Structure 1
Amino acid sequence: MRTATISRSTAETAIDVTVTLDGTGVYDVSTGVGFFDHMLEQLSRHSLIDLTVRTKGDLHIDEHHTVEDTGIAIGQAFAQALGDKRGITRYGDALSPMDETLTRVALDISGRPWLVWKDLFSQPRLGGMDTEMFEHFFHSFAQAAGITLHVETLYGTNNHHIAEAAFKGVARALRTAIEIDPRKADAIPSTKGIL
């Protein structure tokens, strides 16, 4: 089982995260930001990555530090659980429909973190969360996990659907990318010999 636990404590947040990559999508998430919890649950369920998150943040200020630091901790746990990345498929992509919304996701577990984010949010807040924080979460996650990640809302009007399609799309792309390819189960998926 590829699993890792990260504890991260700063003056702004205290976070405990456990990920099990070869899971069944079981989650237990509590960040104090309801809509964010809902999105992390989608990430777990549709990637089949078991995810436990306990975040206590300075929500009396706003949700920024909570979302950012949770993204960092999940990314760190993800990278640790992957180890040397031996045998993984490495690449993943998904088209993620959510009613009138369609989102395209492509990623590479490359060791070279990058985020390209194109959304169509039409309101500044959603469920008590700043919509700009979705990009910030994925940026923090991609940086800490060492993932090249592209997320683009192709079209959509409902802000809830736009957010949810992004998380589900990333989940499905991750599920593909972390799978062990039986034809190269003992090989690093790079001509460099390291990721």
Structure 2
Amino acid sequence: MRTSVVTRTTKETKISLSLDLDGTGKDHIDSGCGFLNHMLVLLTKHGRFDLDLKCMGDTHVDDHHTVEDIGIALGTAFKEAIGDKRGIVRYGNMMLAMDETLMLCALDVSGRPYLNYDVTIPTQKVGNFDTELVKEFMLAFSRQFGLTLHFKRIEGENSHHIIEAMFKGLGRALKDAVAIDVQYADEIPSSKGIL
């Protein structure tokens, strides 16, 4: 069972989540931020992960702490659930179309955190959500997971579509990367013997 249960409590947020990498895309998500809920549902659905997440955050200030801390907690959960990375495919990528938007997401479950964020989002907000927080989420997630993560917006005008394509693409690329390669199920996918 590749699962993890994570709790994270700070003076700004209280988060509890459970993750199953080998799920079916079921979710129960209450982040306290409607737009982030929507994006995390897309991530789990397209990644075929099961995610149960509850966050109580200081959203009366803004959504920054909630978004960043959920990225940290989710990155922790992925890192714990994947264990020593034995048998995983390791790499994943997705060129995802979302109406007028075309987004590239490529990643390596390398143990080396890195984010290349070549994405311009035209508006500062989608509804009440600050679009600059997308990068904060991806930074926190990739750092905590130990993930090399690249995004490149090829095309796109609608801010909602651009962000949605990122989360869908991330889900699809993660699904491929964390899948077990049955031919090499007992091997660490690195010439170093460790990731």
Query: Which residue matches 1:134?
Result: 134
Q: Deviations over 1:33-92 (max 9, x none)?
A: 100100000000000011111000001110000000000000001000000000000000
Secondary structure of residue in 2 paired with 1:110: coil
Two-structure CA RMSD over aligned residues (Å):
0.6
Q: Take 1:70 and 1:54, find their aligned partners in 2: how far apart are those partners?
A: 9
Query: Which residue matches 2:124?
Result: 124
Q: Deviations over 1:146-191 (max 9, x none)?
A: 1000011111101110000000001100000001001100000011
1:174 aligns with 2:165: no
4+ residue runs over 4 A deviation: none
Query: Which residue matches 1:62?
Result: 62
1:165 aligns with 2:165: yes
Q: Take 1:153 and 1:171, find their aligned partners in 2: how far apart are those partners?
A: 16
Q: In 2, are the aligned partners of 1:22 and 1:49 still within 8 Å (CA)?
A: yes
Q: Take 1:124 and 1:15, find their aligned partners in 2: how far apart are those partners?
A: 26
Q: Deviations over 1:94-136 (max 9, x none)?
A: 0010000000010000000000111121110112111000011
Percent identity of equivalent pairs: 50
Partner amino acid for 1:101?
T
Q: TM-score if structure 2 supplies the norm length?
A: 0.99
Partner amino acid for 1:64?
H
1:18-37 aligned within 5 A: 18-37=18-37
Q: Deviations over 1:19-40 (max 9, x none)?
A: 1000001011001110010000
Q: How many residues are aligned here?
A: 195
Secondary structure of residue in 2 paired with 1:96: strand
Q: In 2, are the aligned partners of 1:34 and 1:127 still within 8 Å (CA)?
A: no
Query: Which residue matches 1:91?
Result: 91
1:187 aligns with 2:187: yes
Query: Which residue matches 1:153?
Result: 153
Q: TM-score if structure 1 supplies the norm length?
A: 0.99
Partner amino acid for 1:26?
K
Where does structure 1 lack aligned partners over 5 or more consecutive residues?
Answer: none
Q: In 2, are the aligned partners of 1:120 and 1:157 still within 8 Å (CA)?
A: no
Secondary structure of residue in 1 paired with 2:84: coil
Query: Which residue matches 1:105?
Result: 105
85-94 or 118-127, larger mean C-alpha shift: 118-127
